[in-house]
Amino acid sequence: MRALRLPNWKSEPELVEVDEPTPGPGQVVVKIGGAGACHSDLHLMHDFEAGAVPWNPPFTLGHENAGWVHALGDGVSGLTVGQPVAVYGPWGCGTCERCRVGVDPYCENVAEAPVPGGGGGLGLDGGMAEYMLVPQARQVLPLPDGLDPVLAAPLTDAGLTPYHAIRRSWAKLGPTSTAVVIGVGGLGHVGVQILKATTAARVIAVDTREEALKLGEECGADLAMLSGADTAQEIRQATGGRGADVVLDFVGADATLALGAAAARTVGDLTIVGIGGGTLPVGFFSVPYEVSIQTTYWGSRPELIEVLELGARGLVKPKASTFPLDEAVVAYRKMRDGTLEGRAVVVP
């Protein structure tokens, strides 16, 4: 079969022929219907070096995957061949306290995981191929009726990651609250949809690009602001001087972190989702009182079930463009150049 593989750190991916996988005991082979291209893959290609993570190339790219069960290994139950499924991306050990409740991204026994701190497309072969081997059947989730695998694929990361970040702040997102989404890109525009689908908060979208703000408004943002020197003050003016109850930074650069801290309300949340490499000095007087600042990574398996249900009901639908496997490199090029709106889904 054909697969898009990363041969080395700081290299371009290559479309090559590889053997079709065969499932062992407890394993599942999924016929891929859609594999999302994620901005973090660009970091794998261009930024990472040996030692940055506890695994190395070569491996097949693609950590946002959905399709149909193709083959089952011995001992697998609860799945049938031909069944539409999504693949939960982070693969933990399955036995530690975190993994037992489905929070594999925070696995505390990574030495026993299929790949330490990674998953399919992150150290092991992912879904930018015709078939994908999933080493643990528990990571394969049936799709709700009516959800196409092409639409489900980006929900496994671009939907799950903002959903987890938002869900942990639900208590602060009532009808009198305001949420700010900084960066209305591949994850941010889905974050706006999730906020509107699951909370009563008013949503302010912030970006440096007019086209991104238009996308934010299409996704339901109540207010869109072009990011600049006065954005924090504009957010405070729009909230009666109080600031935002929840700020979700999908960029993570120095400037956006500073904006989030300046715009946050007392007892608010500033959640850093983007991996833009920025830092935020924190001291007694540097942020409003009792503002909680946290990073998040992906989400839990139970949360993915909820995200897929939102997708099946049409409440969350990433804006996506599809590319054949032959043109997967083009999708990444558009992402790198900033000419891709929303997400890219590779269809083998």
Kindly report the CATH number that applies to the domain delimited by 160-295. 3.40.50.720
pTM for the structure as a whole: 0.96
**Distance between CA atoms of 224 and 242, rounded to whole angstroms?**
18
Residue 293 has which token pair?
């600042």
Smallest CA-to-CA distance from 186 within 334, 11, 347, 314 is with 334
Strands 14-17 and 2-6: antiparallel
Digit-by-digit pLDDT tens for the chain (348 residues) are 999 999 999 999 999 999 999 999 999 999 999 999 998 999 999 989 898 889 999 999 999 999 999 999 999 999 999 999 999 999 999 999 999 999 999 999 999 999 999 999 999 999 999 999 999 999 999 999 999 999 999 999 999 999 999 999 999 999 999 999 999 999 999 999 999 999 999 999 999 999 999 999 999 999 999 999 999 999 999 999 999 999 999 999 999 999 999 999 999 999 999 999 999 999 999 999 999 999 999 999 999 999 999 999 999 999 999 999 999 999 999 999 988 888 999 999
Beta bridge partners of 90: 119
Enclosing H/E stretch for 309: helix 301-312
Smallest CA-to-CA distance from 297 within 74, 63, 72 is with 63
**Distance between CA atoms of 11 and 8, rounded to whole angstroms?**
6
- Burial group, residue 116, by CB count within 10 angstroms (0-12, 13-18, 19+): middle
Q: Which CATH architecture has domain 2-142+318-347?
A: Alpha-Beta Complex (3.90)
Residue 42 has which token pair?
């660009």
Residue 120 has which token pair?
């399919």
User: Residue-wise over 301-324: b if at least 16 C-beta within 10 A, else e?
Assistant: bebbbbbbebbbeeebbbbbeebe
The ranges assigned to domains in the chain are 2-142+318-347, 160-295
Residue 74 exposure: Cα atoms within 13 Å on the Cβ side: 2
Q: What is the pLDDT of residue 338?
A: 85
Taking only the tens place, the pLDDT of each residue in 184-242 is 999 999 999 999 999 999 999 999 999 999 999 999 999 999 999 999 999 999 999 99
Q: Mean pLDDT of all residues in the chain?
A: 96
Q: What is the dihedral of CA 303, 168, 64, 133, to 10 degrees?
A: -50
Residue 205 exposure: Cα atoms within 13 Å on the Cβ side: 31
